[in-house]
Amino acid sequence: MSEIHALFIMAFIAVLAPLLTRLPAFARTPAVVLELLLGILIGPSILGLVTSQGAIGFLGQFGLIFLLFQAGFEFNPEEIGAGPLRLGAAAWLAAFCLSALFASLLYMIGVLHSPLLIALVLPTTAFGMLLPILRESGNLGSPFGRHVLGLAVAGELGPLVLASIVLAHQHHHLHETILTVVFFAFAVAVIVAAKRLRSRQLTGVIARWMHDRSILPVRIALLILLGFVSLANELGMELVLGAYTAGMVIAMLVRDTQAEVLENRLMSIGSGFFVPLFFITSGVEFDLPGLLTSTGSVARLILFCAGFFLIRIVPVRLYKAVLPEKDLLPLALLSSTTLPLVVAVTFLGVRSGDMAPENAHALVGAGVVTVTIFPILAFLLRAKGEGAEPEGVVAVVVHRAADWASAQYARALGFVAQKVAGKPES
């Protein structure tokens, strides 16, 4: 099949996925999940209509660059608040320690051969996916929503930075580490410079130029993106950090000004074309038969689903002073919601040889479970806490599952409290 024909099929999928989310059956399913699933459908695993060779693979990689470029746009610490960000960082650090312990146990029993990358993947959170979920549920500006986003920021930035360093320096030496420090210093300096350069005159020029035929600000923004990615690549780092930094630089220049139309245009380019191609290409490369036809792979899938959630249970106790008890389990579920970074890091890990393909496929499968099931469970638990009753067969089933999970969570906390207090279990 020609690459043009393959690209046409992928463009069709990119149009079909958001249309499907408008149907009642898929209303709660994020479009990226459908893009991934439809990519599996058209890939070698099922229909064999598309492969990720040649230009298709390159476009998928550029979609990854744009995905992280957009993630840089969306990071807005002023909107979230210092308190939620500090708590989020502490909770993520605790989750990372638990993840390292979990991955080490898997390494000791022979499930993993490189536990560090798995330890970084498990505490990731889909910041960009949680934003629309919280907005649609009316929780975006609430204390609960801000604390979810504080956790999500740490769960995106922490793994992103550490994974970039690990992937770049797994097999290298001291001078590469020094170059990493140089890149970080340069990135911080450029972000600070962008903040200082921001002025009404500059944003007015950007807004005015956005109406020219050449749309010069978009070209300059893409030049900045490719410049940071190229620099990161030349310094021996992975492209993910360069793309994220470029997004933060553009956001510093135009956010909350008349020039914000530039950010909206770049989001349209990314979300309208490049980012869907990344998820569809990831689906095309996904080995579904290898995941489902092996008992070991299914066991890995279940294990990683449990891992995503369990490492978040203990850290949410840090929020006991700022959130009601009924919000803690939903917070754990939402902070476990992840997919884009899982797909990105596993993609890079397999490419560099630092992650086994079977573990990568199981992690992506577990990520799909978290984005399709965990948010529904979280909001049903919150609704139960407010006395609301579920409607519909699916909601009732999920509601009962949430009741069971809540009961087990309370039982586990009681057991731990008794052990710590030194009291015999009743």
**DSSP structure string for 37-93:** HHHHHHSTTTT------THHHHHHHHHHHHHHHHHHHH--HHHH-HHHHHHHHHHHH
Mean pLDDT of the chain: 82
Distance between CA atoms of 337 and 327, rounded to whole angstroms? 16
Its domain, for residue 120, covers: 55-280+300-372
Whether 176 and 233 map to the same domain: the answer is yes
Whether 80 and 178 map to the same domain: the answer is yes
Whether 357 and 396 map to the same domain: the answer is no
Looking at residue 162, its pLDDT comes to: 78
In a domain, 17, yes or no: no
Read off the pLDDT of residues 140-158 as tens digits, 9 standing for 90 and up: 788 999 999 999 988 888 8
Whether 304 and 422 map to the same domain: the answer is no
In a domain, 145, yes or no: yes
In a domain, 33, yes or no: no
Looking at residue 386, its pLDDT comes to: 60
Q: Which residues contact 425 (CB under 8 A, 6 or more apart)?
A: 415, 418
First to last CA, the chain: 67
In a domain, 197, yes or no: yes
Looking at residue 403, its pLDDT comes to: 57
SS3 243: helix
Looking at residue 160, its pLDDT comes to: 75
In a domain, 34, yes or no: no
Whether 323 and 411 map to the same domain: the answer is no
The mean pLDDT value for 296-313 works out to 90
Q: Which pLDDT band, with edges at 50, 70 and 90, does 222 fall under?
A: very high
Looking at residue 414, its pLDDT comes to: 62
Residue 417 clears pLDDT 70, i.e. is over it: no
The mean pLDDT value for 193-214 works out to 87
Q: What's the pTM value of the predicted model, to 2 decimals?
A: 0.75
Whether 338 and 395 map to the same domain: the answer is no
Whether 247 and 217 map to the same domain: the answer is yes
In a domain, 405, yes or no: yes
CATH number, residue 72 = 1.20.1530.20
Other Cβ atoms within 10 Å of 4 Cβ, number? 8
In a domain, 240, yes or no: yes
Whether 393 and 366 map to the same domain: the answer is no
In a domain, 5, yes or no: no
Looking at residue 418, its pLDDT comes to: 64
Lookup: tokens for 22? 């408008």
Whether 347 and 414 map to the same domain: the answer is no
Q: Which residues contact 320 (CB under 8 A, 6 or more apart)?
A: 328
Whether 419 and 321 map to the same domain: the answer is no
Q: Which residues contact 68 (CB under 8 A, 6 or more apart)?
A: 160, 240, 243, 244, 247, 344
Whether 417 and 274 map to the same domain: the answer is no
Distance between CA atoms of 375 and 333, rounded to whole angstroms? 7
Please count the structural domains in the chain. Answer: 2
Looking at residue 287, its pLDDT comes to: 76
Read off the pLDDT of residues 262-285 as tens digits, 9 standing for 90 and up: 888 898 898 889 989 988 998 888
Whether 65 and 160 map to the same domain: the answer is yes
